[in-house]
Structures are given as C-alpha cells and as structure tokens.
Amino acid sequence: MFGDERTERIIGILSDSFFPILKAGLQFTIPLTLITFSLGLILAFFTAVARISGFKPLVLLTRFYVWIFRGTPLLVQLFIIFYGLPSVGITLDPFMAAVIVFTLNKGAYSSEIIRAAIQSINKGQWEAAFSIGMTKSQAMKRIVLPQAIRVSLPPLGNSFISLVKDTSLAATITVTELFQKGQQIAAVTYEPLWLYIEVAFIYLIFSTVLSYLQDKLEIRYGRGVAK
C-alpha cells in the first residue's frame, strides 16, 4: 500500500506521539472524567432524592434543572460557560469550566437513573426497615440504597463510559486533553488518519479498563441475587 519509507515515517510518528497523547489522557481526560463523575453522582443523588421528596419547590427546581441540562447540547453548554460568561465578568480557567459543565450535565442524566433505581425498590423493603425501628434516612442508607446501587450500576456504567468520550469536547474550550493533544500532533505531522486512529485506540484502552471496574462493582453489589 505504501512505500517502506512512508510506513517507517508513520510508525515513527505513532511511536513518538503515543506517550505524549497518553500523558494528556492521564493528565486531563482521566482526572476530568473521575472528578466530574464523582461530583456528578453526588449531585445526581441529591437531585433524585429531592425529586422524590414530594416537596413541591424542590421537585420543581430539580425538574427545571434536569430539563435544561438534558435538553441542550453539551457543546453549547461548554461554550456558554467558557466563552459566554466572560462577557458578564466571570472568567473561568478551561479545566474548571469543563468540570462545572460536565458535572452539571452528568448530574442531570444520572439523577434520572438513580431516581428510577430507588423507585424500583419494593415498598415492602421500606416498610420492613421501618418495622425494625429505622428512620427514613437509616432505611435509605442501609436497605434501599445498597439495592438501588446494584440496579443502577449498568446504566451508570454506560453513562460513565460515555463521559470518558464526551470529555473530548473539552478540546473545544482549549483543555489540552487527549483529543486536543492528538489534534495538535496531527496538525504538524499531516497524518490525521493514523493519529486519530491512535487517539481512538487510547480512548478504547481507557474505556476497557473502566468497563472492567464496572464489572467488579457489579459483582460486589450483586450479592444476594440469584445467578
């Protein structure tokens, strides 16, 4: 397909670029994913609990929040926060802006997963917990959540892996994460095909490791379920 010289050049570029791109991934993509996923989960949990609390103002507030962040593109949200807010005097560091947007976005989606998982737990579990004298928060923490976590792990795993890939959008607001790094190298080497395949491959490695973690978690929370 190519001359030997061309092949050698591509192999050279790929091996030279592999570690810089991987490093950008470890430095930005992975931390961005882990930080926003953790913060997003906390936000999602409180949003879900507020949503099922039945307390009108909280219900309306959380519905509004989920409506906004699910109903608008992630890319547009990034642009509003990073390029838009400076015009009203709020300037954010790119990484910070990415953390805020991804957290709010993930929080909105995951809150629906967590809400569904909590509501899927049979009412009898709450009653049994109450019958041995538990308060609502004890019943939530000790009885309902451990079961809800098991139900929510597969969809949350999905959402986690899509987040790994979504963080590539942070390139558009100048975060030098994995994809941005690949773009930079592609721009100077004129080998976009091979570089972007390399970028895809590194994302694949990350996703694979994370799926493996998901499997481990599913086993851990799967206790007490008929196989």
Partner 1 sequence: MITIDNLYKRFDKLEVLKGVSLSIDKGKTAVIIGPSGSGKTTLLRCLNLLEMPDKGTITLGDKTLQITENSRLKQGEIVSFRKQTGMVFQSYNLFPHLTAIENVMEGQVTVLKRSKDEARKKALSLLEKVGLQDRADMYPFQLSGGQQQRVGIARAMAMDPEVLLFDEPTSALDPELVGEVLKVMKDLANEGMTMVVVTHEMKFASEAADQVIFMDDGVVVEKGTPDEVFNATKNPRTMQFLNKVAER
Which pair of structure tokens corresponds to residue 163? 């987040």
From 125, 158, 176, 211, residue interacting with partner 1 (rule: CB under 8 A): 125
Give the list of residues 6+ apart from residue 176 with CB closer than 8 angstroms, or none. Answer: 24, 28, 184
Contact flag: residue 122 with partner 1 (CB under 8 A): yes
Task: Check residue 71 for interaction with partner 1 (CB under 8 A).
Answer: no
127 binding partner 1? (CB under 8 A): yes
Least distance between partner 1 and beta carbon 56 (Å): 17
Q: Which of 79, 130, 194, 196 binds partner 1 (CB under 8 A)?
A: 130
Q: Shortest approach of partner 1 to residue 171 CB, angstroms?
A: 42
From candidates 32, 44, 101, 143, binder to partner 1 by CB under 8 A:
143
Q: 79 or 126: whose CB is closer to partner 1?
A: 126
Query: Is residue 223 a contact point for partner 1 (CB under 8 A)?
Result: yes
Tell me how far apart the alpha carbons of residues 181 and 89 are, in angstroms, rounded to a whole number: 29
Q: Toward partner 1, which CB reaches closer, 70 or 220? A: 220
> Minimum distance from CB of 136 to partner 1 (Å)?
7
| Cβ atoms of 170 and 139 closer than 8 Å | no
Dig out the tokens for 32 from the structure: 């961005």
Q: Which of 15, 135, 162, 208 binds partner 1 (CB under 8 A)?
A: 135
Q: Is 142 in the site for partner 1 (CB under 8 A)?
A: yes
Q: If binding is defined by CB under 8 A, does position 56 make contact with partner 1?
A: no
- Asked if 136 interacts with partner 1 (CB under 8 A), we say yes
Q: Does 138 bind partner 1 (CB under 8 A)?
A: yes
Q: Does 118 bind partner 1 (CB under 8 A)?
A: no
> How many chain residues interact with partner 1 (CB under 8 A)?
24
Q: Is residue 62 a contact point for partner 1 (CB under 8 A)?
A: no
Instruction: Show the 3-state SS of the chain.
Output: CCCHHHHHHHHHHHHHHHHHHHHHHHHHHHHHHHHHHHHHHHHHHHHHHHHHCCCHHHHHHHHHHHHHHHHCCHHHHHHHHHHHHHHHCCCCCHHHHHHHHHHHHHHHHHHHHHHHHHHHCCHHHHHHHHHCCCCHHHHHHHHHHHHHHHHHHHHHHHHHHHHHHHHHHHHHHCCCCHHHHHHHHHHHHCCHHHHHHHHHHHHHHHHHHHHHHHHHHHHHHCCCCCC
> Footprint of partner 1 on this chain (CB under 8 A)?
122, 124-125, 127-136, 138, 142-143, 146-147, 150, 221, 223-226
